[in-house]
């Protein structure tokens, strides 16, 4: 036939697959892998180690803050507005300060109620309301600060 030329070799080295044979009695086993797409925020997220005991303490103290307790400050505010409203209503309606009995002026029971008892009750309730709101808010912020000090800061963990 003539001078036949052989084609130039076109061989490329390819790494061999890592193949393992499962035992005979297991049946067929298939492993697949595929790329996982996740949001940018999740891709850049870091993991911070926190002890379980720390999480339990934090959750217990936070549960105290959100527990459904009776709203004493609101009750005191309602009592204060009702009492002071009764006093001002007594002034506006002209409840007499005293009645004259046998030539002597004596305070009436209405006057004692509207001008003595209700103002004292109203001012005391108002002071109690402000004290409970003030100290309750301080207690919540102190608990929150303690919890922030106890939990790790993810901005410093990088």
CA distance 107 to 96: 8
| pLDDT recorded at residue 77 | 95
| Domain-wise residue ranges, the chain | 48-150
| pLDDT recorded at residue 3 | 60
Closest C-alpha to 73, from 15, 125, 22, 118: 125
- What are the counts of helices (DSSP H) followed by strands (DSSP E) for the chain? 5, 2
The first and second tokens of residue 114, run together, are 């509207």
Which DSSP letter does residue 8 get?
P
| pLDDT recorded at residue 119 | 96
The one-digit pLDDT tens for each residue of the chain (158 residues) are 556 777 777 777 777 777 777 677 777 767 777 777 888 887 777 778 888 898 898 888 888 877 777 888 999 999 999 999 999 999 999 988 888 888 888 888 899 999 999 999 999 999 999 998 888 878 888 888 888 888 888 777 65
106: buried, middle or exposed (CB in 10 Å: 19+, 13-18, 0-12)? exposed
């Amino acid at each position: 036939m003539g001078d036949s030329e052989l084609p130039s070799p076109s061989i490329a080295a390819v790494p061999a697959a890592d193949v393992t044979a499962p035992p005979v009695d297991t049946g067929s086993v298939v492993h697949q892998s595929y790329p996982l797409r996740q949001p940018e925020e999740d891709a850049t997220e870091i993991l911070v180690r926190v002890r379980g005991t720390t999480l339990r303490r934090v959750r217990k103290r936070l549960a105290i803050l959100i527990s459904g307790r009776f709203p004493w400050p609101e009750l005191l505010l309602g009592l204060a507005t009702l009492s002071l409203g009764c006093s001002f209503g007594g002034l506006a309606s002209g409840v007499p300060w005293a009645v004259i009995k046998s030539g002597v002026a004596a305070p009436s029971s209405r006057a004692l109620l509207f001008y003595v008892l209700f103002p004292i009750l109203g001012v005391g309730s108002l002071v109690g309301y402000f004290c409970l709101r003030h100290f309750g808010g301080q207690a919540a912020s102190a608990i929150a600060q303690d919890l922030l000090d106890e939990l790790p800061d993810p901005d410093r963990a990088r």
